[in-house]
Amino acid sequence: MISYPTKKSTIIKSTINRAKLGMTLEEDLNKTNHYYREFDLAIIHKKPTPIQVVSVSYPKRSRAKITEAYYRSASTTDYNGVCKGVYIDFEAKETNHLTYFSLAKIHPHQIEHLKQVAKHGAIAFLLIRFSSLDTTYIMTIEQLCEFIQTNQRRSIPIEWFKQHALVVPLSLTPPVDYLKVIQPWIDKRSIP
């Protein structure tokens, strides 16, 4: 089979490369948050995935075995924590598309939650990675609300990100140094 240099093959190739390195956004964020905690820069954790347990058996007295359970949709975001007294809350999403980010990836509950915490003084945002472009952006909840209000479309074009979003610089340790990007906002709000 002859493979032509089409867009599709570019996407697949890039996905394989990242998969080989085992560097999903979630794994990168786990490492990053661990690094922040180690150096006491911020205490931010990923929340566990919400699961509805239906039945549990006890094959050994010591350990309960869940035999039937289902994934539930999240009512909040995946990540939250504190840095210098400021509450931080964000949702992280990855896309393989080259030209847009689909808003269907963000649950309405999550948008509502980010709006609520922002109103209470939180730094609330989306961390969006275009895997095929190896680029990670920060979009604040205020930016997202403005986009939804002023646009009819159900996806955000890459051009919007290039023009308005902040880029998380590439680094090795920590792999997604988002704290560096939001630090000015934290410093402005933090309690001396």
The footprint of a second copy (CB under 8 A) covers 37, 40, 42-43, 45, 47-51, 53, 63-72, 75-76, 80-87, 89, 113, 116-117, 119-122, 189-191
Minimum separation from the CB atom of position 185 to a second copy (A) = 12
**How far apart are CB 169 and a second copy at their closest, in Å?**
24
Nearest approach, Cβ of residue 65 and a second copy (Å): 6
The arrangement of strands across the sheet holding 135-140 comes to 43-46, 79-83, 86-95, 123-130, 135-140, 166-167
Distance (Å, whole) CA 148 – CA 131: 23
- Which residues of the chain form beta strands (DSSP E)? 43-46, 51-60, 63-71, 79-83, 86-95, 100-102, 123-130, 135-140, 155-157, 166-167
Closer CB to a second copy, 11 or 27, in the complex: 27
Which of 20, 120 has the CB closer to a second copy?
A: 120
Report the nearest approach of a second copy to the CB of residue 63 (Å).
6
